[in-house]
Structure 1
Amino acid sequence: MLKKIILTLFRFLVGGLFVFSGLIKVNDPVGTSIKLEEYFEVFSNDIASFFEVFKPFSLELSVFLIVLEVVLGIMLLLNFKRNLTVSLLLVMILFFTFLTFYSAYFNKVTDCGCFGDAIKLTPWQSFYKDVVLIVMIGVLFIFRKDLPNGTSKATSVVVAGSALACFVLSVLAIRNLPFIDFRAYKEGVNIPEAMQPSGALEYRYVMKKNGEEVVLDEYPSDESYEFVDMQLKNPDALPKIADFGVWNDEGDFTEEILSGNKLLILISSYDKMDADKLGNLDVIMDVEGVETVLVTATAADEIEQVMEAQDWNVPYYFGDATVLKTIIRSNPGVVLLQDGTVLKKYHINNAPSLEEVKNNYQ
């Protein structure tokens, strides 16, 4: 009886967590693909160069893993094909645990993206979470013969329908923008305000005295203490945005970008840019009272080629590629700013009309 209760509890916890985690990622498959690219980059440098081969397929792998994560969770909850389900879950969690351990131990990828941008976990928190899941899935695997085993047509339809629904939603999120924006640059955010602490930062001090470390809330006046480290007591007060910056050869232009009415065209990668649709932006680049600015992470000669090919005559600046990808999941993408406040963001597939742009500034 006790074993049955434990197996049922583990089944619902594991299945529910996999469905929850997968659905969050369905909202933003591009974000998951960016994380996979980071892992492939690290592995190609640290482990074996062949991981470089996977980088061009990170988006496809992202969608596959997301759909698989949701479907396996549903299969477990519905007791569908127990042997296959539990075996695949064990393989999947071992893979995820390797990623999170590598991130935590070698401090390579500081955010695993386990729950997208909705819930941020430190690398070690992600690893400990996966260890707990390994234990629960391991128990389910060992006692899989004691689990119910359903193979009804109705359950098969539910599982297949779930897979199809997740795939369709993932494609929609890729071709447009995430349904829910959990990132620091979501619409309505004032970037200059988000770049400031939300309160006074408070620290505790790690000191050493007589060979022993002690933690003090205030810096000691006793000179016999030796300073070791500082620990932030209220990390929630840190700025929500700490990496936004825009520049060119003449200097930093962040302050100028965050003042007045700006229409930003963001290009995070020249090679991956949807160049065929750049012409969709021509009509919105001459709105009265709104300055159009191009911000890119590409090389100067590449962006000059774009400007010449499109016959654009607008100022362009440089930004960090990761920041640009964080701001908008489109390459290129359009962001409307008013004194640093994000009014609206547009995927290149849904470029706004001239009237839409005007209406945002009224």
Structure 2
Amino acid sequence: MKDIHNNKNTLNKLPLHGAVGAGLWACRILVGVLFIFSGLIKANDPLGFSYKLEEYFEVFHMTFFSHFSVSMAIFLCALEMFFGFALLIGAYSKQIAWGLLLLIIFFTFLTFYSAVFHVVQTCGCFGDAIVLTPWQSFGKDIVLFVLIIGLFINRDKIHPLIKNSNAEKGVVIIATILSFGAGIYTYNFLPVMDFLAYKVGANILDEMKTPPGAKPDEYEMTYHLKNKKTRELKTMSSTEYIKSNIWKDTNWQIQGEPESKLIKKGFSPKIVDLTINDAQGSDYTHELLSNPFYNVIIVAYNLDKTNVAAIGKLNALALNLTQNYNIRTVLLTSNSAKDAEAFSKANHFFSEIFYADEVPLKSMVRANPGVLLMKNGTIINKWHFNTVPTYDNIVNQYLDKH
């Protein structure tokens, strides 16, 4: 028995050959690369990922976790990248196999729940770079689940590429630091790659337009009918309802409200939810976004959570730009007019205040506050409050050149 056990251990340590070995390596590469890509693309925008986590917290009535959404977003992104990298180099294979299995079970449950109950319409698996529907996300997770099951069953056959244990530990430590560092860096600055509609160079007004001839979404009405005499029930589309002439038969009555169903997706502008109002509710969207001169927009989607020290510095910057170059500066927030006015008085805020929904403000710039430099509706540049240039730099780079 001892010899058999020793022989089994020896076989497990031998390099894999043939189809089994190739299949295991294919699974490692596919899963590893996909996890690294998924984690990296979300780490590019951890604040955006945290918003998605908050949606899930609301669905499951766990809003107390919202206070930790950013930390959890950075941690999950780093975990995905670390698992993917460790799988590729074969480090800690048993622990990584267990971690991958638990993670994919968790992700599969979330995407299945979203798809069935229509609660979170985009899972955020690949951030805003690749937007998947809930069913597409669930399908992707099923494929990953199958691959990871294969890795889990063969976890004893995954051997490290780095034979020296100290060297392996060093590589793992570096990978861990880089995994966490990516999310921390982009959170404190801005995404390295901006996949949102409000990226530098975009014209907001153009992104809100529907071009001539573009086809809108096509919907079909569905009617629920009941026969007064026979009590028979029918469900018919609006086309069937008209074509069958059933509407002429007074015995058939429509029950409840007709249902509208999307049957063909048409053109949809990249920006559909931006409306800017003043305290009285007057629409200033076009006036502010069509300004032909340089103008500065400070975005603080939530004044209760904004960085007050940064607001003070931006206030001084706005004052100097307005006094010396007649630059119009405004603050955009989703807070109520009453709360915004109280905030303005408490912080001696100089700029005009306008109001918009929280969702587009979160997309404008991944910072609270963040700054947009605009001209003719085009975003010339934008900054996180940690990277806003000085007054002299803005003047030298933009204003004195024109």
Q: TM-score, normalization: structure 1?
A: 0.88
1:21 to 38, 60, 64: 38
Post-superposition offset of 1:146: 2.8
1:176 to 164, 189, 192: 189
Residue in 1 that maps onto 2:349: 312
Residue in 2 that maps onto 1:92: 103
- Work out the CA distance in 1 between the residues paired with 2:217 and 2:385: 44
- Work out the CA distance in 2 between the residues paired with 1:312 and 1:272: 16
Post-superposition offset of 1:346: 1.3
Post-superposition offset of 1:324: 0.8
Superimposed CA distance per residue, residues 202-228 of structure 1 (whole angstroms, 9 cap, x where no aligned partner): 6677699xx9999xxxx98x9527998
Residue in 1 that maps onto 2:299: 266
Tell me if structure 2 keeps the 8 A contact 1:267–1:298: no
2:71 to 60, 81, 101: 60
- Work out the CA distance in 1 between the residues paired with 2:180 and 2:336: 35
Residue in 2 that maps onto 1:251: 282
Residues 36/207 of structure 1: CA separation in 2 closer, same or farther (3 Å cut): closer
Q: Which has the larger radius of gyration?
A: 2
Residue in 2 that maps onto 1:115: 126
2:270 to 210, 216, 240: 240
- Work out the CA distance in 1 between the residues paired with 2:216 and 2:276: 30
Residues 355/201 of structure 1: CA separation in 2 closer, same or farther (3 Å cut): farther
Post-superposition offset of 1:290: 2.1
Tell me if structure 1 keeps the 8 A contact 2:297–2:329: yes
The letter of the residue matching 1:246 is I
**In the alignment, is residue 6 of structure 1 matched against residue 23 of structure 2?**
yes
**In the alignment, is residue 224 of structure 1 matched against residue 243 of structure 2?**
yes
After the TM superposition, list the runs of 4 or more consecutive aligned residues in structure 1 that deviate by more than 4 angstroms: 202-208, 211-214, 225-230
**In the alignment, is residue 283 of structure 1 matched against residue 283 of structure 2?**
no
Post-superposition offset of 1:143: 2.2
Paired residues for 1:208-223 under 5 Å: none
**Percent of aligned pairs with the same residue?**
39
1:69 to 77, 80, 97: 80
**In the alignment, is residue 141 of structure 1 matched against residue 171 of structure 2?**
no
Residues 140/336 of structure 1: CA separation in 2 closer, same or farther (3 Å cut): same
Post-superposition offset of 1:83: 0.7
**In the alignment, is residue 350 of structure 1 matched against residue 369 of structure 2?**
no
Residues 148/295 of structure 1: CA separation in 2 closer, same or farther (3 Å cut): same
2:116 to 87, 97, 105: 105
Superimposed CA distance per residue, residues 186-207 of structure 1 (whole angstroms, 9 cap, x where no aligned partner): 0000011111235622667769
Tell me if structure 2 keeps the 8 A contact 1:335–1:342: yes
Tell me if structure 2 keeps the 8 A contact 1:344–1:360: no
Tell me if structure 1 keeps the 8 A contact 2:101–2:152: yes
Residue in 1 that maps onto 2:180: 167
- Work out the CA distance in 2 between the residues paired with 1:32 and 1:250: 31
Tell me if structure 1 keeps the 8 A contact 2:315–2:351: no
Deviates more, 1:222-231 or 1:239-248: 222-231
Tell me if structure 2 keeps the 8 A contact 1:332–1:347: yes
Post-superposition offset of 1:155: 2.4
- Work out the CA distance in 2 between the residues paired with 1:16 and 1:78: 11
Deviates more, 1:149-158 or 1:13-22: 149-158
- Work out the CA distance in 2 between the residues paired with 1:348 and 1:149: 43
Tell me if structure 1 keeps the 8 A contact 2:318–2:350: no
2:359 to 300, 322, 332: 322
Residue in 1 that maps onto 2:398: 360
Tell me if structure 2 keeps the 8 A contact 1:185–1:191: yes
Superimposed CA distance per residue, residues 304-324 of structure 1 (whole angstroms, 9 cap, x where no aligned partner): 122112222432111111211
**In the alignment, is residue 157 of structure 1 matched against residue 170 of structure 2?**
yes
The letter of the residue matching 1:201 is K
Q: TM-score, normalization: structure 2?
A: 0.80
> What SS is found at the alignment partner of 1:349?
coil
Residues 271/212 of structure 1: CA separation in 2 closer, same or farther (3 Å cut): closer
